[in-house]
Amino acid sequence: MNIITRFAPSPTGYLHLGNIRVALYSWLFARNNKGKFFLRIEDTDIKRYNKKYVDNIFYLLDWLGLYWDNNVYFQSKNIDLYNYYIDLLLNKGLAYKCYCSYERLINIRKKCILSKIKPKYDGYCRNKNLNYKNIKYVVRFKNLLSDNVKFKDLIFGKLNFKNKELDDFIIKRSNGLPTYNFCVVIDDNEMLITDIIRGSEHINNTPKQINLLKSLNFKKPRYIHLPIILDKYKKKLSKRNYTYNINNYIDNGYLPNTLISYLLKLGIYNNNLEINDINKLKSIFNFNNINKSPCIIDDNKIIILNKYYINNIGYNSLIYYIKPFFLDKNINMNKINNIYKIFFVILERIYFLYQIVDFYILINNNNFKLDLNVLNKFNLKYNIIIKIFIKKFNKLYFWSIQNIKYIINNYVNKNNLKNKYIYSLLRYILIGKRHGIDLFKIIFILNKKEVLLRLNNCCKI
Ligand code: GLU
């Protein structure tokens, strides 16, 4: 059987880590099995719909490299098909029109809560075959009253629900639009989905969907519900919370590989932190390895992974990913001629992409003002020292980190000085900061001309 999976986001907010985990696993399961992966936009909730969310879904899947097959499937373009099946169910007596008022429904709910039973519709219109003109109604599915719905979930195992506890749920709203539980069944059948992979918050929807698909004689797909992801405060992720929003990770200088590898490792038994090779992680991915208990996001692990991938994706890919950060600061990357040197110097120190730009700005800023008080605090005859270094650097033919290091350390040793003072003094003169990045690397990256210029400028104050 050819595997067909789908990612079916509702464009009601920006996607978070939990959402893209569903996309990633669905994509990977299809790819690993030479199957197909489809994208379906579930856009029938017109109140919360926004086009910017749809555009963002495309953008994020592209950023993550989770490309889908065929055209995107929009539920909103399928209303005729849904109506066709709703009419079919009505005609077969498997669904009915319900005219109950809002007040009545609220009352039923209150009564259920008072008698400590799960709120559900009392079936008032169920067998009345009502059909009024010009009065608003909803269409409800006639759920079975006896027996159980059983299904096997690949992660949660065998699940069993009593029909009498399920509701005669609404399949068409009073505004004429079909509901989530209904559309999903029609679409999954239409798209020939074999494996439904989604968050475990949908487990309770599954028996309703199974009853519906049975009544329409559709084939039952396999179900794989992914355990819930919690934030560090053990709260469910929400599209409203920006922290775990994927756009936030992008803005904060994370790489797609970081999120992909973190999500692949998340919740896996024997979570092996040693494996960071994305291709290996993808090839060993398997639902049988997934733990059904909730996963708690570990922000530090994500940061450490990001450092790893920044150092390992290769300079050309890095250039691609840092471009937007330079653009954001109005810096044209094409004009930077020492970007590889910058990578070489800075990568091992950083955790986020934007730090590359910060470093570039730091070393290219020759507009900083040196403070005489700070210079005097070094308690060194800095003017004399600088002049000596000007001479030494001037004579240096091959501008390498080794040679720069040799010149400075040799001077420090011969004059019995403390190297931390000299390092700090030179760093301050060259970039206006006393602490931080390795001095030799700074001198190396600034290049001879700029170093001599900055040292000379300092002599003038
Ligand atoms: N639109 C649903 C969601 O965003 C997906 C439901 C499904 O995969 O069946 O949660």
Average pLDDT over residues 3-31: 96
CA distance 24 to 259: 10
Question: Which amino acid appears at position 458 of this protein?
Answer: C
Domains, the chain, with CATH or none:
4-67+182-230 (3.40.50.620), 78-172 (3.90.800.10), 242-312 (1.10.1160.10), 316-459 (1.10.10.350)
Measured torsion, CA atoms of residues 281, 287, 290, 296, in degrees rounded to the nearest 10: 70
pTM, two decimal places: 0.91
Average of per-residue pLDDT across 77-101: 97
What pLDDT score was predicted for residue 259? Answer: 97
Ligand 1 center–CA 22 separation, angstroms:
9
Residue 273 has pLDDT above 70, yes or no: no
Query: Residue 261 pLDDT more than 90?
Result: yes
Q: Is 188 in the pocket of ligand 1 (CB under 6 A)?
A: no
pLDDT of residue 242: 84
Tokens of residue 49, six digits:
């719909």
pLDDT at 377 (0 to 100): 82
State pLDDT tens for residues 170-188: 999 999 999 999 999 999 9
Residue 151 has pLDDT above 60, yes or no: yes
One-letter amino acid identity for 218? F
When the pLDDT of each residue in the chain is averaged and rounded to a whole number, the result is 93
List the residue whose alpha carbon is closest to atom 4 of ligand 1.
9
According to the model, what pLDDT value does residue 270 have? 60
Residue-level pLDDT at 12: 93
Check if the beta carbon of residue 37 is closer than 8 Å to that of residue 69: yes
Pick the atom of ligand 1 nearest to 205's CA: 9
Q: 290 pLDDT exceeds 60?
A: yes
In short, whether 202's Cβ falls inside 6 Å of ligand 1 is yes
Q: Considering the chain, what percentage of its residues have pLDDT values greater than 90?
A: 78
Is residue 272's pLDDT more than 60?
no
Say what the pLDDT of residue 315 is: 95
- Is pLDDT above 60 for 73? yes
Q: Which of 14, 21, 60, 202 to mutate to test the pocket of ligand 1 (most atoms within 8 A of CB)?
A: 202
Q: Tell me: the pLDDT tens digits for 325-362? A: 999 999 999 889 889 999 998 999 999 999 999 999 99
Question: Which of 139, 110, 113, 112 minimizes the C-alpha distance to 125?
Answer: 139
Residue indicated by tokens 């008080």: 373
SS3 92: coil
Q: Are 461 and 372 in contact (CB under 8 A)?
A: yes
Distance CA 215, CA 141 (A): 10
Residue 76 carries which DSSP code?
Answer: G
Question: Can you give the pLDDT at residue 271?
Answer: 59
Q: What is the share, in percent, of the chain residues with pLDDT greater than 70?
A: 98
pLDDT of residue 268: 65
Q: Give the per-residue pLDDT at 269.
A: 60
Q: Which residue reads 């030179």 in tokens?
A: 426
Atom of ligand 1 nearest to the CA of 198: 8
Is residue 210 scored above 90 in pLDDT? Answer: yes
